[in-house]
Chain A
């Protein structure tokens, strides 16, 4: 619980909380001194490349590797069947928390059948990557093509091929949330509005692709895996179990990571295969996914179709909402996090800001012969927020009410917590009202309305969008990965140690992917300990060095890992003060630590520097009483106890211009008001929001994995798959409301993903606001010019 004592620490003169420090790694990486997985080359390293299935669905009749094996420089050729013999068994990507969910056993590489275009089939390991690619071209596979299942709409039809006959049908999962009396509410509603939506598939496109360097040492029987990853301990557990190496003999190191966005929390067969090769060869094996294979092997996301209806009263109150979601995941449910979390989140968060009780949400998740989908930044939120906010706008429009006025009337009041969202998920410490009012001021809503009206007379169509949201961050143990059966920690931990020099080593289970997690952890530790930042070194991303933890995903690093750092640092501070009290023959209560020195509380008079405590504590223990043995280190863990998630909230505003002749959109301006609880580093939080928005805008406008009827990916390169670029992005103004979470003393909530969650919805609202004079509404993402023109009936 937040108490005044803790708050004062954060606001005091010693505090680094709320300070916009730049990322510890910024200067180094900009100077080209980053050290990514591919920058590490060990002696005797060899390189893996893969033959991937050219078909979405095909049986493997015969594989001829003879020519490839005979090529100079080739050290190993391994088929899927051979890899299966070296593995403990296939994965099954289900979790017990998803009742009734099913998925077929999946091998790291296809054994007798490939189920998506791009599935790895044969691995070649050679002295150089180019040689491995040459050898891949010499491998001959006899295929028998099987008709693929390419469309979610027909995946459950009787005539559609069943991907995995043992499952009986193509259904992965279905779930319905039904709260209140939905049917009655619709039957007696004043107004009922319906709409259908579609959301295209897209993928993460991290700047640094997936990368792994596995190094098995037969002498020590230790396996070291350097990998561009967010979750070292999960990789340790999954790879150890799959390849039969004791977990404690596996060390996973995540060096600098060049973007990850959820992509790098999953298990990928090619990475397991390369690791198996290292064990087989007893030498380091490197695998760097190239851009082309990334498109057909990185997890994809989204691909949902939703029909929705909303009931509202004439007075302007939401009475009920119903959504029916169909999600097309890939050929297998991703292991170990599954491919159904996204659909589950859509059900949880749709219309999350609003205070109505009749809510029904159903999802049907089906398998397709496509790249497996799974968690990608802001899982499910872009979909749920787009749907919910569009329906709210339609209701307001039908009633002739201003969309802001409608939201004012319907959002959960700021004094209503703890409470539940319409889906029933518990929410606490939210601030929809405060955020809405702040946004209206920030964007000068009235001024925009005037400008919009004036320009319309000149044939210029601008639209104003508003989209509020709730965002699930920092999941706890309840009904989550770990309790669902996956080797994924929902707690995170920190060990802080005082070194003889007076410096502090802070090791954390959460990881940094360039967002500045290490900087933030340092700020928290420095604040709690009362020492200057440059006296702290934060170590992350090495299972040999850091305490066990879940890693960084689901906007959990600061909310979960940060609290562990705070608690551990408070413990160490108490120990230092106790020891200082003994040395100074003073009551520890009368002492404080300021600027790296033990001082007299209140007056600030310097009593002893921490270097002295460190020196005595490590080298001169004889100066201490015999019955006193300081450890000068502390380890603390943190997990949520009350809530399944720390839900955050916020609201976006967007101003766009639609060229109604060409269908092209111009994003003129974007505003965000975010409540991520206590702000540790405002600048880094803002940058997370901005980067997140850009990623969301990518999905809303550009990014789309286009498949043909044979489930072939048509645009798997950077020439054809459009990512958002700076020139098209609007200026993004970010402001904050700070409502600390009552789950922790630090009070920080997650902030990494919400930009991605709400940006697509707010731009959709803005576009439709612009198109209102035409009586048209775009409900398909990405909102390409062609989609806009079709909506307008111009083509």
Chain B
């Protein structure tokens, strides 16, 4: 469990990091918090020629509000996001998800951008930013571009980011009045990756869900919007029937695979249970608002 031989470069500027990425492309790995990358290196599951350490790029860290959106720099540590009053006020969904992201020690090092760049299908943050309609900014020597979260996650650990691009920031629209959020996941132990989970951002009118983003994680190869489940309840007064309808429709949205965490049937069952619970909570919050 010793990492293979590789070259290490500590970037002192974004420009330098981009130049190195342009030169080495696929052969380079960006090192952010290292919480996911270091184990894969030590297990020799990946063998980059070059490691580009971006931890000194202070410009990439920070949380601010700009134009009704919260901007989270890629290098912002999970712990900083969890503690942020801005996030608590404007992105309560993310604030609620944060304690589920790993453990304190991992959150102290792990970065928001790292989680998004990694695109683990069981991770919380990709699901949250998809539910919230975020935009991801990447940059290379070729220039900067914005990618909608809906276009960013392409598959298992696969994203729209090109090998020479650095993830710069994530912009997430502030939660508007009249919308409610809810977040739930099931993991075997506190801090583990989820075996089922859902991030919900809903628009409600009294007891009626008028529209919602229900994003499931830990089921598919990427965070997945459940259009059918939402269609089953949209415009209807929340009731036992609509709960059952949403749960039933979920099998048209999700087709989980058997894996070490359990069988497909087990995982679909859990997502169904969470569907009912998360919408119950959303309605409850709408009532309270």
Using a CB–CB distance below 8 Å, which chain A residues touch chain B?
129-130, 133-134, 137, 290-292, 661-662, 664, 702, 706, 714-715, 717, 719-720, 722, 724-725, 727-728, 784-786, 789, 794-795
Smallest CB gap from B39: residue in A: A719
Contact A706 B269 (CB under 8 A): no
CB-CB under 8 A from A129, the residues of chain B are: 2
Residues of chain B within 8 A (CB-CB) of A794 are 269
A134-B5, A722-B189 known; A795+B265 contact, CB < 8 A: yes
Chain A residues in 8 Å Cβ range of B192: 722
Provide the B226-270 mask, 1 if CB < 8 A to any CB of A, else 0.
000000000000000000000000000000000010110110011
Which residues of the partner chain B approach A717 to less than 8 Å between Cβ atoms?
Answer: 43
Q: Residue on B with the closest CB to A704? A: B260
Q: Are A789 and B189 in contact (CB under 8 A)?
A: no
Q: Which residues of A contact B190 (CB under 8 A)?
A: 725, 727-728
B186 on interface, CB distance cutoff 8 Å: yes
B contact residues around A789 at 8 Å (CB): 266, 269
Q: Is B273 an interface residue (CB 8 A)?
A: yes
Given contact pairs A290-B1, A725-B189, A727-B189, A715 touches B260 in the complex (Cβ within 8 A): yes
Q: How far is the CA of A724 from the CA of B4 in the complex (A)?
A: 31
Across chains A and B, the number of contacting residue pairs, with CB separation under 8 Å, is 57
When the two chains form their complex, are residues B189 and A795 in contact, meaning their CB atoms are under 8 A apart?
no
The reply to whether the CB of B191 lies closer than 8 angstroms to some CB of chain A is yes
Q: Which residues of A contact B273 (CB under 8 A)?
A: 661-662
Please judge, given known A-B contacts A130-B3, A702-B188, whether A292 and B43 are in contact too, CB under 8 Å: yes
Cα distance, A720 to B261, chains bound together (Å): 8
A661–B271 CA distance with the chains assembled, in angstroms:
11
Given contacts A717-B43, A785-B266, A786-B263, 17 further A-B contacts (CB under 8 A): A129-B2, A133-B1, A134-B4, A290-B1, A661-B273, A664-B186, A706-B260, A714-B260, A715-B260, A719-B39, A722-B192, A724-B189, A725-B190, A728-B190, A784-B188, A786-B262, A794-B269
The 5 closest A-B pairs by CB, nearest first: A727-B190, A130-B2, A290-B1, A786-B266, A795-B265
- Nearest A residue to B3 via CB reads A130
Residue of B nearest to A722 (CB): B188
Query: Which partner residue on chain A sits nearest B263 by CB separation?
Result: A786
- The distance in angstroms between the C-alpha atoms of A130 and B273, with both chains bound, is 47
Query: Inside 8 A of A728's CB, which chain B residues have their CB?
Result: 189-190
A contact face: mostly helix, strand, loop, or mixed: loop
Q: A133 with B2: in contact, given A714-B260, A795-B266, A795-B269 (CB under 8 Å)? A: yes
Q: Which residues of A contact B44 (CB under 8 A)?
A: 133, 137
Residues of A near B39 (CB, < 8 A) are 719
* A45 CB to nearest B CB, Å: 16
A291 contact set on B, CB distance < 8 A:
1
Q: A702–B195 Cα gap in the complex (Å)?
A: 14
Expressed in whole angstroms, the minimum distance between the Cβ of A290 and any Cβ of chain B is 4
Q: Which residues in A have their C-beta under 8 angstroms from that of B262?
A: 784-786
Could you tell me which residues of chain B, from 155 to 193, have a CB within 8 Å of some CB in chain A?
Answer: 186, 188-192
A702 to B188: give the CA distance in the assembly, Å: 8
- Nearest Cβ in chain B — how far from A302, in angstroms? 19
Contacting pair B270 A292 (CB below 8 A): no
Which residues of A are found within 8 Å of B188, using beta-carbon distances?
702, 722, 784-785
What is the CA–CA distance of A129 and B4 in the complex, to the nearest angstrom? 11
How many angstroms from the CA of A91 to the CA of B2 in the assembled complex?
32
Max chain B C-beta neighbours (<10 A), residue from A134, A664, A706, A786:
A786
Contacts of B189 in A (CB 8 A): 702, 722, 724-725, 727-728
In the bound complex, CA of A328 to CA of B166 (Å): 51
Query: Hey, which chain A residues are within 8 Å of B263, CB to CB?
Result: 786, 795
Cα distance A785–B189 in the bound complex, in angstroms? 12
Complex Cα distance, B184 from A661, in Å, reads: 14
Contacts of B186 in A (CB 8 A): 662, 664, 785
Contact residues in B for A702 (Cβ distance below 8 Å):
188-189
Q: Are A292 and B260 in touch, CB under 8 angstroms?
A: no
| Separation of A719 and B187 alpha carbons in the complex (Å) | 13
Task: Note all chain B residues with C-beta closer than 8 A to A722.
Answer: 188-189, 192
CA distance A292 to B1 in the complex (A): 7
Proximity string of chain B (181-211) to chain A, C-beta cutoff 8 Å, 1 when within and 0 when not: 0000010111110000000000000000000
Could you name 25 residue pairs across A and B whose Cβ atoms are closer than 8 Å?
A129-B2, A130-B3, A133-B1, A133-B44, A134-B4, A137-B44, A292-B1, A662-B186, A664-B186, A706-B260, A719-B39, A720-B260, A722-B188, A722-B189, A722-B192, A725-B189, A728-B190, A784-B262, A785-B186, A785-B188, A789-B266, A794-B269, A795-B263, A795-B265, A795-B269
